[in-house]
């Protein structure tokens, strides 16, 4: 999706060096983060990386071992979950099984002591928004997975929170439904102007939903940025490897100029030329990351003497929209290359055991210095 601009002047959530320990285990380690009004911020990471714990601290179910959480400028330390201006959509949806859809959605408003008529009206409105008006009198077990997900969303949103926390909001849905629901979520978020913090382990989901992504690993935030930033300019090997697939080459900086660098990699025959400068000591050990779709493959050798390699195709996987090729370079290293399947019946498709030349644009490689 097109990237939305985030208004950085309107900070809404501020997490200040928050740490959470469970016994000896550090679940969240010195995390500092600002989240702005109106964004969809995705916390992305593998299982056990601390993303859910961080979310639960925002909701008030866990207390930070140290550090502060401020929401709208107010310190949350002494505020119990039922007094926070925050609502959460649970991974399991946590719909009350003994209440109808309508009662579930009304529950939060009843706690505010709203008049009955107003409660009923707001519940009806919200059920219309999520297109569940016809299901108001059903119990949760009479709904499909997608409908349950929308009830959970309606129940959290009907309270008009400024901040909605979503724990794996699409995790329980099948693939088709997930794609459709992603866009519904975004539309709803824009319409209601709520700030979303989404926890997910699914990078595609994070890419589609997020205005910004915070990648977490071992309790720490390793990179924060827009989806494009995270994908095109990963700041570490972990992020490069975790998001999408990547070919990583160890190398040494041989030519360090303000507008370009040259790197020699033991596994590549020619030097890597990168068309922008980096901040690293000359002669430093660095790592070059090149995405598989940014490598061009052909039978004829490229014109340039740099950014090139050659090898033999050892594996082809047809994925429909693209094909993945594994090419063993002459030095023995296996490189992953993807190419779109533009034509339906390509006569001269590259086949197994064929000798091929690889090349890439000087702007493609990312140099990772740490």
What residues make contact with other proteins under the rule CB under 8 A?
Answer: 22-23, 25, 27, 47-48, 52-53, 59-63, 80-83, 86-88, 90-92, 94-98, 107-108, 111-112, 139, 141-144, 146-147, 155-156, 159, 177
> 97 burial class (0-12, 13-18, 19+ CB within 10 angstroms)?
exposed
Torsion of CA 83, 89, 92, 94, to 10 degrees: 50
C-beta closer to other proteins: residue 36 or 107: 107
Least distance from C-beta 269 to other proteins, angstroms? 42
C-beta closer to other proteins: residue 79 or 270: 79
Place of tokens 């890439």: 360
Least distance from C-beta 243 to other proteins, angstroms? 20
C-beta closer to other proteins: residue 67 or 302: 67
- The span from the CA of 68 to the CA of 84, in Å, is 15
Least distance from C-beta 163 to other proteins, angstroms? 12
Supply the DSSP symbol for 292. Answer: G
Least distance from C-beta 172 to other proteins, angstroms? 13
- The span from the CA of 304 to the CA of 310, in Å, is 13
C-beta closer to other proteins: residue 4 or 160: 160
The strand pair at 195-200 and 40-44 is best described as parallel
Least distance from C-beta 321 to other proteins, angstroms? 26
Least distance from C-beta 101 to other proteins, angstroms? 12
H helix and E strand count, the chain: 8, 20
Determine if residue 94 is left, alpha or beta; phi over 0 gives left, psi from -120 to 50 gives alpha, anything else beta.
Answer: left
Which residues have C-beta within 8 Å of that of residue 271, sequence separation ≥ 6?
A: 254, 262, 263, 264, 265, 306
> Which tokens belong to 309?
């390699």
C-beta closer to other proteins: residue 148 or 212: 148
C-beta closer to other proteins: residue 132 or 287: 132
Among 208, 257, 247, which residue's Cα sits nearest to residue 329?
247
Least distance from C-beta 141 to other proteins, angstroms? 5
C-beta closer to other proteins: residue 41 or 135: 135
């Amino acid at each position: 999706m097109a990237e939305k601009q985030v208004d950085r002047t309107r900070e809404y959530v501020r997490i200040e060096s928050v740490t959470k320990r469970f016994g000896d285990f550090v679940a969240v380690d010195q995390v500092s983060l600002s989240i702005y009004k109106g964004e969809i911020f995705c916390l992305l990471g593998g299982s056990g990386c601390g993303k859910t714990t961080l979310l639960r601290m925002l909701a008030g179910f866990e207390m930070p071992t140290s550090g502060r959480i401020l929401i709208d400028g107010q310190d949350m330390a002494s505020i119990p979950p039922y007094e926070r201006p925050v609502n959460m959509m649970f991974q399991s949806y946590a719909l009350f099984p003994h209440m109808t859809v309508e009662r579930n959605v009304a529950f939060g408003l009843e706690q505010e002591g709203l008049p009955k008529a107003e409660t009923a009206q707001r519940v009806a409105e919200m059920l219309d928004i999520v297109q569940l008006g016809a299901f108001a009198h059903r119990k949760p077990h009479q709904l499909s997975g997608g409908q349950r997900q929308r009830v959970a969303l309606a129940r959290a949103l009907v309270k008009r929170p400024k901040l909605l926390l979503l724990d794996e909001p699409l995790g329980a849905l099948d693939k088709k439904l997930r794609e459709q629901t992603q866009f519904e979520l975004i539309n709803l978020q824009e319409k209601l102007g709520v700030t979303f913090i989404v926890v997910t382990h699914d990078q595609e989901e994070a890419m589609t939903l997020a205005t910004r992504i915070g990648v977490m690993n071992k309790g720490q935030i390793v990179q924060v940025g827009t989806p494009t930033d995270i994908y095109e300019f990963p700041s570490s090997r972990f992020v490069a490897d975790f998001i999408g697939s990547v070919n990583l080459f160890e190398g040494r900086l041989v030519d360090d100029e303000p507008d370009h660098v040259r790197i020699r990699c033991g596994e590549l025959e020619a030097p890597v030329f990168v068309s922008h400068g980096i901040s690293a000591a000359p002669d430093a050990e660095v790592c070059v990351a090149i995405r598989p779709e940014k490598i061009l493959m052909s039978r004829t050798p490229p014109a340039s003497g740099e950014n090139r390699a050659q090898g033999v195709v050892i594996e082809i996987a047809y994925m429909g929209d693209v094909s993945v090729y594994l090419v063993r370079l002459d030095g023995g290293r296996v490189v992953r290359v993807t190419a779109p399947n533009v034509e339906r019946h390509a006569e001269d498709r590259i086949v197994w055991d064929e000798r091929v030349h690889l090349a890439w644009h000087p702007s493609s490689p990312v140099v990772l210095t740490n």
